[in-house]
Amino acid sequence: MGRKDASTIKLPVDQYRKQIGKQDYKKTKPILRATKLKAEAKKTAIGIKEVGLVLAALLALSSWLSMLSFISDCPQMLTLIGT
């Protein structure tokens, strides 16, 4: 059997959350809406890292294709030189 007063003790985390909730309550609706939109835009925005990865993939693909076309042209060049 536990003590009755043990359930009434609040953790510091709960007190902190309650304090933050009170601070958010004091904000007006336009401020809350703007904060929410800013957080959502930040979450869905494309980062520099993703753009860099896409550009690197395109560069690798184009270099691979140019190398492939060069290799396919080599036998023709060899036959032209031989005749």
pLDDT in the model for residue 55:
94
Cβ atoms of residues 24 and 32 within 8 Å: yes
Q: What is the pTM assigned to this prediction? A: 0.38
18-33 pLDDT, tens digit per residue, is 887 777 666 677 888 8
Measure the CA–CA gap between 25 and 13, rounded to whole angstroms: 18
pLDDT in the model for residue 66:
86
pLDDT in the model for residue 24:
64
44-65 pLDDT, tens digit per residue, is 777 788 888 999 999 999 998 8
